[in-house]
Structure 1
Amino acid sequence: MAKLVSNRHQTGGALHITELISSASVKAASIVLCLLLIIIQYAHTGKYDYDLVVIGGGSGGLACSKEAAQLGQKVAVLDYVEPSVKGTKWGLGGTCVNVGCIPKKLMHQAALLGTAVKDAKKYGWQISGPICHDWATMAEAIQNHVRSLNWGHRVQLQDKKVKYLNVKGSLVDKHTVKGLSKAGKEMILTAKNIVIATGGRPNYPTNIPGAVEHGITSDDIFWLKKSPGKTLVVGASYVALECAGFLTGIGLDTTVMVRSIALRGFDQQMAGLVTDYMDAYGTKFAWMCVPKRVDKLSSGALQVTWTDTHTGNEHKDTYDSVLWAVGRAPETKALGLDKLGVQLRKETGKIVVGADESTSVPNIYAFGDIGEGRPELTPTAIKAGKFLARRLAGHSTELMNYDNVPTTVFTPLEYGCVGLSEEEAEKRHGKDGIEVYHAFYKPLEFSVAERDASQCYLKVICERGGDQKILGLHFTGPNAGEVTQGFAMGFQCGATYSHLLQTVGIHPTCAEELIKVSITKRSGLDATVTGC
């Protein structure tokens, strides 16, 4: 039996029939039947199998595919999870659902509840016996919730008539995608447009012996069945600090090893407040230190050797787990982009995209974490995916606005921000061109519990002249995400400092401190809030 694979671009047909039985003894009736099937399929589908094929079943890819389907497009979404180095794998939904925002926030909540239980005694709750945390109970509940989300996404795709394929996708040409199943079976799909939304995966340091063999990443921490125990977190990104924060909060001995600065790219004054609070909260920090090797001892413990770059001295300690949080790499290597000439940024490996998410190759688009210069945030990917779907379906010309995207770092003391950092505002407008209003405040909830509020702080960065347009807003404190979300809308409306002062506060809340702020850094006056 010989295989006859259709040439889709010579015939203009989008053929699902890739194998026609051909031999000298084939009867004419069989040939006629096959030709009839081809003609029927061509008439049904037109030039391509699909209007849109999306490679990547994360938040952005799912949002794009569902939006396109609702607009009448014929859509397929390909999603395949390559297991982590440690063998961790998960279902449909991408990083956010499985190994990011969702399990992270739930584990953060577990830690906050531990603090709340301690506070409860001050509020009169009679709690007897020692307070302890059971990892297995928490992990099972969170993992079950994530699985329910995986299933929910599959149901949504089915309801919206999106074809879901659990295959690894790569590009053949600007209209053709090859899918490879876990069993090694290949399939070919053609589409008018192809969208890449494959996101990224955590990096391992390649120059540190034992790092890969003995370490884990954020792809693994949320799916552990047993407690990670005494943990070294290497890195100072928001991923590193959030993980270290909830590990400390549930009672684990946790150390963060920082090579240079924490929360690079964020306002550095705010970053300092976050790490100061974590330090007081019980997280240990090894500043200006670089790991050299990880060895597994006969006891099963992991011995980490590192260098203090200040002194040059070498140190060693043992841990139960080493969590690498040293950045993420875009999932571009297996897509076959080089063969098509899709332009990548050499330094980052990300896809160079235009304002409309287009790549250097016509009909191929990319957005989300894989796009060069794009925020690595779920909500931006979702919104960008929907806008792209609308444009490709001819229903809109609106582009995604990547300015003033709000975000929150879910550390023990949460940090929310929108707009420019003080450093960036000063760089763009000059030190004398900005006015920074700030305040140290004490959440009412902290008072009875006698909790230290030294790092509860806010600042509003404004243009110094004219209407004092707000350039950046930063807040550390309870529920920072909820606080920042509301103020973020003001940025879309051109909010000014006078708008802030004209807003009536909700009392007593932490958020109201933002609309009362009146002390400037320039004045040098004490910015501590002393009463209502």
Structure 2
Amino acid sequence: MVHLRFVLFLLGTSVTNLAEDTLVDGTYDYDLAVIGGGSGGLACAKEAVNQGARVAVLDYVTPSPQGTKWGLGGTCVNVGCIPKKLMHQAALLGEAIHEAVAYGWEVPSADQIKINWSALTESVQNHIKSVNWVTRVDLREKKIEYINGLGSFKDPHTLIATMKNGSKKELTAKNVVIAVGGRPHYPDIPGAKEYCISSDDIFSLSHPPGKTLVVGAGYIGLECAGFLNSLGYSATVLVRSVPLRGFDQQMATMITNEMEEKGVKFFNRCIPVSVEKLESGQLKARWLNTETKEQGEDVFDTVLLATGRYALTEQLNLAAAGVSVLSDSGKVVASTEQTNVPHIFAVGDVLEGRPELTPVAIHAGRLLARRMFAGGSQQMDYENVATTVFTPLEYGCVGLSEETATERYGADNLEVYHAFYKPTEFFIPQRNIRNCYLKAVALREAPQRVLGLHFVGPVAGEVIQGFAAAVKCGLTMEQLSNTVGIHPTVAEEFTRLNITKRSGKDPNPASCCS
């Protein structure tokens, strides 16, 4: 059969202007090609196969500037959520060992309790490798062709996979999903790429990080600084503007206060200037306070950059596909997941203005596949997506921050319920509770629909997950106050909220059972 695209070329007809219903069945090698083997891309590929589609997944990891590389599964599995949570758990276990003495456990003296970094990273990496293997087996069993090559467009329906050895594989697909995600941004300063690491490297670092400078105070920077400090490695954070930009700033302050009290140092309004490697092998970092114009410097064993991420779209040759709607950061701009080219879509972190969260990418990918191959109509709802920052004292939230709610509805139309509380597990030993705090942002008019819930405290992720479903269903303060809590838990504190900021009353807890 003469290839339809070749005929169109001879006739001078543009493929991008051709209506989809005129395409000949069987023209393409695949019904769907997914560029990117992360959570969103894999979820879309698997669902498409469930609906009878022929699917290929192209995935290739370009090593980080420090040479770190990993297997199939994307950021979450390899250098994101999973290893981060495991490191966080290791830090919590270290704290628990010290606290066990107050509960009667006989443990070695404090100076004998220390982390074995090599054993920790080996355990983490062994788990990741097992997930990589299971993922590959799953693709094979589902008859999804996995191509370990760097994908790019040759034309709107043709992809080229550049393999590790430089050879190229060409394939055609009726539909294409861009799910390449992003990688850490490196600031344009001397020594950044030469001597610094990022979250791509920290979870498999071959040596203990020692005294560490973390550049950036987003959730990645704070999570890394938090677990490093709790594992016994001195951590300093450079904060360019505000911590946890985009999150509720009162809660962000609670987080940084807690971290400071645990020993993490913060330099506010500071940006990095240079990183120099000394003869000793240590790194001299210099920074500038953008307000006072004062310069600071110190010597560290490790400098970890957490200054944001950029989308991996530049390597895709999107111009050849006709995809032209990109933001300044290189992300795909789309009202749903469909680009300006009807058969080309994007899911996950590569989309502009969408939550950069694994479950978001997974759900969006599945719904997209159902719309493409099963006649589905459900679109991804990006509102009221819950998330958690896994700092030593966790922060979980769903819905609007107090700042965003104020901008949308006006302060006079809001009621903010809040409280400090004392977790039962903090009674023995007597732990600091100054930053155990929660609030509900609601409309003032009855029945006071809840716009946002925010919680700082133990197991915040587990707490906020259940309430996220309630917020999604239109939770009101009346319903929340009529919910009977489980005692004694920290989650029940949401059902006990009765003091508003407007009232000016003391939000500190009276007792555990009142």
2:83 matched to 1:88? no
Partner of residue 370, structure 2: 390
Q: Which residue of 2 aligns with 1:364?
A: 344
Deviation at 1:353, TM superposition (A): 1.4
Runs of 5+ in structure 1 lacking a partner? 1-5, 14-43
The alpha carbon displacement at 1:223 in A equals 1.1
Compared CA separation, residues 11 and 345, structure 1 to 2 (3 A): closer
CA displacement 1:255-298 (0-9 Å, x = unmatched) = 01111110000000000000000001111111122221111111
Query: C-alpha distance in 2, partners of 1:515/1:322?
Result: 43
Whichever residue aligns with residue 501 of structure 1, its letter is S
Confirm or deny that 1:340 pairs with 2:321. yes
Instruction: Please list, as runs of the form range in 1=range in 2, the aligned pairs for 1:120-519 lying within 5 A after superposition.
Output: 120-129=100-109, 130-206=112-188, 208-355=189-336, 357-519=337-499
Report the identity percentage: 56
Q: After TM superposition, give the deviation of residue 11 of structure 1 in Å.
A: 6.1
Is 1:107 aligned to 2:81, yes or no?
no
Query: How far does the alpha carbon of each residue in 1:220-279 deviate from its partner, in whole angstroms, 9 at most, with x for none?
Result: 111112111110000010000000000001000110111111000000000000000000
CA contact (8 A) 2:157 2:321 kept: no
**Residue 490 of structure 1: how far off its partner (Å):** 0.5
Tell me which of 6, 9, 21 is aligned to 2:4. 9
Contact 1:174 1:362 (C-alpha < 8 Å) held by counterparts:
no
Instruction: Tell me the distance in 2 between the aligned counterparts of 1:414 and 1:162.
Output: 38
Which secondary structure does the structure 1 equivalent of 2:197 belong to? coil
Tell me, what secondary structure is at the counterpart of 2:297?
Answer: strand
Q: CA deviation at 1:345?
A: 3.3
* Rounded Cα–Cα distance in structure 2 between residues aligned with 1:180 and 1:8: 23
Q: Give the aligned partner of residue 20 of structure 2.
A: none
Q: CA separation of 1:332/1:445 partners in 2, compared to 1, >3 Å: closer, same or farther?
A: same
Q: TM-score, normalised by structure 1?
A: 0.91
Normalising by structure 2, we get a TM-score of 0.94
Q: Give the CA deviation at 1:338.
A: 2.3
- Relative to structure 1, the CA distance from residue 298 to residue 530 in structure 2 (aligned partners, 3 Å threshold; closer, same or farther) is same
- Structure-1 separation of matches of 2:270 and 2:36: 37
Distance 2:182 2:159 in 1: 20
1:188 shift after superposition: 1.2
Asked whether the 8 Å contact 1:139–1:222 carries over to 2, the reply is yes
Which residue identity is paired with 1:377? L
> Deviation string for 1:22-78 (max 9, x for gaps)?
xxxxxxxxxxxxxxxxxxxxxx98121111000000000010000100111110111
Which 10-residue stretch deviates more, 309-318 or 464-473? Answer: 309-318
Determine if contact 1:343/1:352 at 8 Å carries over to the other structure. no
Q: CA deviation at 1:341?
A: 2.9
Matches within 5 A, 1:65-76: 65-76=45-56
Looking at structure 1, the residues matched to 291 and 158 of structure 2 have their Cα atoms a distance apart, in angstroms, of 54
CA RMSD, aligned part only? 1.5
Q: What count of residue pairs does the alignment treat as equivalent?
A: 495
Q: Is the 8 A contact 1:140 1:225 kept in 2?
A: no
Q: Deviations over 1:439-458 (max 9, x none)?
A: 00011101111110100000
Distance 1:101 1:503 in 2: 32
**Cα deviation code 1:469-519 (max 9, x no counterpart):** 000000000000000000000122111001101111000000000011000
Separation (CA, whole Å) in 2 of partners of 1:226 and 1:85: 17
Cα displacement string for residues 321-375 of structure 1 (whole angstroms, at most 9, x for unaligned residues): 10000000000011001233312434221011122x1001121000110011111
Return the alpha-carbon distance in structure 2 between the equivalents of residues 388 and 515 of structure 1: 37
Q: SS where residue 315 of structure 1 aligns? A: strand
Larger radius of gyration: 1
Question: Structure 2: where are the runs of 5+ without partners?
Answer: 9-23
For residues 272 and 105 of structure 1, do their structure 2 counterparts lie closer, same or farther at Cα, with a shift above 3 Å needed? same
CA distance in 1, matches of 2:500, 2:451: 15
| SS of equivalent residue, structure 2 residue 427 | helix
* Equivalent-residue separation in structure 2 for 1:284 and 1:78 (angstroms): 42
Task: State how far apart, in whole Å, the 2-side matches of 1:417 and 1:409 are.
Answer: 9
1:312: how far off? 2.1
- Cα contact 2:215–2:221 (8 A) shared by 1: yes
Q: Hey, what does 2:16 align to over in structure 1?
A: none
Amino acid at match of 1:472: G
Q: Pick from 31, 42, 60 the counterpart of residue 62 of structure 1.
A: 42
Deviation at 1:158, TM superposition (A): 1.1
- Which secondary structure does the structure 2 equivalent of 1:154 belong to? helix
Counterpart residue number, 1:29 = none
SS in 1 for 2:509: coil
Task: Give the SS at the match of 2:328.
Answer: coil
Per mean C-alpha deviation after superposition, the further-off stretch among 229-238 and 341-350 is 341-350
Shift in Å, 1:10: 4.2
Question: How far has the Cα of 1:192 moved from its partner?
Answer: 1.1
